[in-house]
Structure 1
C-alpha cells in the first residue's frame, strides 16, 4: 500500500458539486498567522470566471470571513435575504458567481477553522436543507484531515 497521498482538492470540489447537483462549489483556505489569517478561495468547480481567485478576505468579511470568525455554517436558501443588493459588495463570491442560494460550512483542523466549503446555486431556493445536510455529510470522507464540527471536551 502506498503512503497517504496528498489530497487533490480540485477533484474533491468537483465531486462534491456533482453529488450536490449544484452550480458552484468552492474551497477557501485560511492563510497562516504571518499572512494575517487571510482567506482565499483556492479551488472551485462550476465557476463563471477566475474572479474568485482574486478575492482575499479578512476574518468577519464576506461569507468565508464570517464562517471563519464564528466557526458556524451559513445556510441561505435565498441569498437576497442574507445579503441585500446594497450589501452585495461585502460578499464578493456571491456577486462574482451570481449565487441565489448557498451554504457554507467551516472545515476544522486541530480545533481551528482552516477552510470554508461553499456550495451554491444560481437560482433561488435550490439550496435545500437536505442539500445542506448532504454537504456536511460529505466532509469527513472527502477532505480527510478536516472535519466539519468543532470537537468538544465531552
Structure 2
C-alpha cells in the first residue's frame, strides 16, 4: 500500500506557497530501502529550473539529508552568513534555487522520517523564526499524520 497515496502534495505545496508567499516550496521523499534510503525532490513549487529532479541525497547530506538523519527542523535566516561559503556546495537545492533564507521540517510516518518539507525565500532574512513557527503550525492541517511523529504500534 502506498502510504502517500491520500496526500495531494502538489496542492499542499501550492497552498503553503500562497499562504506565506514563499519563493520556493519542495518536498523530498525517501526512496525505497533497496536504494540506500536516497532522498529525491519529488514535488516543488516556485522552482527556477528542473535541476532539482537530478538531486539525489543520502542521509546526512544536504538540507533534506540532515533533516532526515536528525529528525529535527532546520532554520537558516541568512544562508550567506549562517553557512560557510565552503559548505554551500553541500546544499545543492539551496544553490540551485538560489535560496537565501530557508527552513525544513521532517515528515514522519510510524515514528520514522519519510520525507522532508523545505520552504525558502531568495532574499536574506525574509524567513524569520516567527514565520517559520507559524508555517510549522499550519502544515499540520494538510500533512496530518505525516507531521508531528505519529505514534502507531506496528
Q: Distance in 1 between matches of 2:35 and 2:14?
A: 28
Q: TM-score, normalised by structure 2?
A: 0.90
Which residue is equivalent to 1:66?
66
Map 1:124-135 to 2 at 5 A.
124-135=124-135
Q: How many residues align?
A: 148
Which residue is equivalent to 1:47?
47
Q: Distance in 1 between matches of 2:147 and 2:106?
A: 8
C-alpha contact 2:71 2:113 (8 A) present in aligned 1: yes
Which residue is equivalent to 1:35?
35
C-alpha contact 1:67 1:74 (8 A) present in aligned 2: yes
Q: TM-score, normalised by structure 1?
A: 0.90
Which residue is equivalent to 1:109?
109
- RMSD of equivalent CA atoms: 1.7
Q: Distance in 2 between matches of 1:29 and 1:85?
A: 27
Alignment of 1:94 with 2:94, yes or no, is yes
C-alpha contact 1:103 1:119 (8 A) present in aligned 2: yes
C-alpha contact 1:136 1:148 (8 A) present in aligned 2: no
SS at match of 1:26: strand
Shift of residue 81, structure 1, vs aligned partner? 2.9
| Higher mean C-alpha displacement, 9-18 vs 76-85 | 76-85
SS at match of 1:86: coil
